């Protein structure tokens, strides 16, 4: 039923739970998983020093790379614990920009059939119940979205 599943990840516990669902669905539908980390550069626009902005961006990219590596580790863990034999292909992508906008653009570019994402991520107190990124994606995506709490 699904050929391409988009898995946005920020390394949060919700993203890790979503990864388990995405990998399980992919293993049962012969789909590939596109793990996407978006470095949110929109919040860095007002920083006074350009070199500070570059440094913070690099730190965020490194953190994002770790969250992408975690997806592969989760797949290996599922194979060991659940005996899930899978040939799931995972493609890791890192992009910069506003997370919801980048996710929605990636859906179009990659012809994604399903988005699987956590309900909340690594953000401050401004995220209540359903994270604002997840909410925007749910409302605007042209494909089904599985929001994992």
DSSP string, 34-97: EEEEEE--GGGTT-S-HHHHHHHHHHHHHHHHHHHHHHHHHHHHHHHHH-------EEEEEEES
Confidence category of residue 125, pLDDT binned at 50, 70, 90: very low
Asked if residue 50 has pLDDT above 90, the reply is no
In this structure, are residues 20 and 88 in contact, taking their beta carbons and an 8 Å threshold?
A: no
Q: Which residue has the higher pLDDT, 50 or 33?
A: 33
In this structure, are residues 35 and 7 in contact, taking their beta carbons and an 8 Å threshold?
A: yes
Q: What is the CB neighbour count within 10 angstroms for residue 120?
A: 21
pTM check: above 0.85: yes
Of 146, 131, 118, the closest CA to residue 5 belongs to: 146
Per-residue model confidence (pLDDT) at position 113? 97
Per-residue model confidence (pLDDT) at position 45? 67
| pLDDT more than 90, % of the chain | 66
| 53-86 per-position pLDDT tens digit | 788 889 999 999 999 999 999 998 888 887 766 6
Confidence category of residue 123, pLDDT binned at 50, 70, 90: low
Per-residue model confidence (pLDDT) at position 89? 94
Residues 6+ apart with CB under 8 A from 97: 38, 39, 40, 41, 42
The fold of 4-148 is Rossmann fold (3.40.50)
Place of tokens 């699904």: 2
Asked if residue 127 has pLDDT above 50, the reply is no
Give the 3-state secondary structure of residue 120: coil
Q: Note the maximum CA span of the chain.
A: 52
**Residue 109 structure tokens:** 């570019």
**Residue 148 structure tokens:** 């994992």
Give the C-alpha separation, 65 to 12, whole Å: 13
């Amino acid at each position: 039923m699904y050929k391409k599943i988009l898995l946005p990840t920020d390394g949060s516990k919700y993203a890790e739970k979503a990864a388990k669902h995405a990998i399980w669905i992919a293993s049962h539908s012969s789909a590939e998983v596109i793990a996407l980390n978006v470095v949110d550069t929109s919040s860095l626009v007002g920083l006074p020093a350009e070199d500070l902005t570059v440094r913070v961006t690099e730190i965020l990219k490194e953190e994002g790379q770790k969250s992408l590596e975690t997806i592969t580790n989760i797949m290996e863990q599922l194979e060991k614990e659940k005996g899930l034999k899978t040939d799931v292909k995972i493609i890791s992508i890192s992009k910069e920009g506003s997370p919801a906008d980048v996710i929605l653009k990636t859906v179009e570019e990659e012809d994604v059939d399903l988005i699987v994402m956590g309900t909340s991520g690594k953000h401050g107190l401004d995220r209540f119940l359903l994270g604002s990124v997840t909410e925007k994606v749910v409302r605007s995506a042209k494909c089904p979205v599985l929001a994992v709490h």
